[in-house]
A and B are shown apart, each in its own frame.
Chain A
């Protein structure tokens, strides 16, 4: 009996979610705190919706208590003829300066969903030069669907948030299915057509791809990630590399699932996966994340010791 209890306890200890997933889950819950909305099928109409949340979370989701930054930006740009987008751009600049792409790794509900799907054990499509090249697609989408198209239509007094309308699977998942699965919204079903089919297909595609590869939406499509990536060297909270300690062994880049060329570059979502792997402890968090992390597991610590030993042996013989 005692053995069973001790085994169960050790199993529980070994399977406690890591701190990043806890933060992600809390962020998702905080963004979608209007739980009543899921029952009534109505969206929240409080004053907090004037503030944009940092991550990708559709404001048409029944639970959402804040505005989606990307949707707000497109709508502000779409009103180019009669209004400006200072407020939303200011908020995005502020979020970028404080967090950068740490938001993608720690505060985005759609990122959490993709992380969870990736945990399903299948054969995985690993990163390559092709995926690295494809990662620049999000900048193209940012320029065309988020900036140019809304502005062009906005001048003609047409509000077209092109990315939300044609691509955004987060909106389909949280907003569309969140509302449509509620029997109170049966009348909305009658209005659905080709656009809903197209968006649902995109959503299913990204769901399946998230199982087969790491965060396909964040890596190749997300324009919000593209915006935050410009701040990745400037953000106050995030990951940093001690250049004096770094031996440029490349273990961090190899361990990372994103298409990074170095830790902290524009593709880095600052998740900290590379921290336990660094044999010389050159990578660490700056800001409040330094207190939340590291939560190293036993296994990673052992790996780290083994790696440190092998590297010191190799380095001693080759470099000197």
Chain B
């Protein structure tokens, strides 16, 4: 049977292109700025920045800006032609939701059996995490040991042979780490789902009355704090105005702030 060739989808290529263009544009601008400053310093110029010095790096700056414009165009093509919709992260969803529910947990409301089940799941999660870290680090030792050993590489030797040897000694271990991570992810997902069922039951136990009572208390406290802050703010503004601080703010604002614009 004829195998179908796997080609990167065009929107993905555009996305990769925009990312690279933006990052490169940033680097070029940083390079241009650094070059203007350090070259000016080396030449011992009194004014490092001038229209001439900027014009000399015009090529870099124009390239950076054109890269940025290109990324904008690619982005627009992606948006209007391919109607790219950002994919929701499905892999992380369970972790996010678990973290959220965990931050909201009030274990005192749980029955003994539920609490025991929740704690057991948490324990399993911890064990899986520890095993995953130990196995990954253990597997990582071998390729690192190979790479850092200078005897394994010879600048005058057969490069292809060395590359194959490197691949044999490194890739299987990296693949092993990947497998460990995937397996641990699946196991963790299983225990998280079990824990989440317990955590979701928590919200059913909170009575509406408790919530409304808490609400009214909270509202009262918030309103008192609001009143105090409002009074303080008005008093401060009046006292400040009497002290003549309005004039000081105006005086600073109507003159060019040399620190803000980088004159020092």
Residues of chain A at the chain B interface (Cβ within 8 Å): 43-47, 49-50, 52, 58-60, 64, 66-68, 71-72, 75-76, 79, 83-91, 93-94, 96-97, 119-123, 126, 160-161, 164-165, 168, 171-172, 175-176, 179-180, 186, 188-201, 204-205, 207-208, 211-212, 231, 233-234, 236, 243-244, 247-250, 253-254, 261-262, 318-319
Contact = CB atoms under 8 A, between A and B. Distances in A.
Contact of B243 (A84, A201, A211, A234): A84
B249 interface: yes
21 contacts: A43-B254, A50-B249, A59-B252, A59-B253, A59-B257, A83-B244, A84-B245, A121-B14, A121-B74, A121-B79, A122-B15, A123-B16, A126-B92, A172-B262, A190-B46, A197-B36, A197-B48, A200-B262, A243-B211, A248-B104, A319-B200
B79 A171 contact: no
Q: Which 4 A-B pairs have the closest CB atoms?
A: A87-B240, A90-B236, A208-B26, A250-B100
Contact of B72 (A52, A120, A191): A120
A311 to B, nearest CB: 11
A262 B46 CA distance: 54
Given A93-B236, A164-B260, 12 more contacts: A85-B240, A85-B245, A86-B245, A171-B257, A195-B263, A196-B261, A200-B262, A212-B23, A234-B222, A234-B226, A253-B100, A319-B201
Interface string B194-228: 00010011011000100110110000001001100
A278 to B, nearest CB: 14
Interface range for B: 35 or more
B97 A172 contact: no
Contacts of B241: 87
Nearest to B38: A197
A160 B259 CA distance: 8
Interface in B131-149: none
A93 B233 contact: yes
Contacts of B29: 204
A168 to B, nearest CB: 7
A22 B207 CA distance: 42
Contacts of A164: 257, 259-260
B178 interface: no
A234 B89 CA distance: 33
B128 interface: no
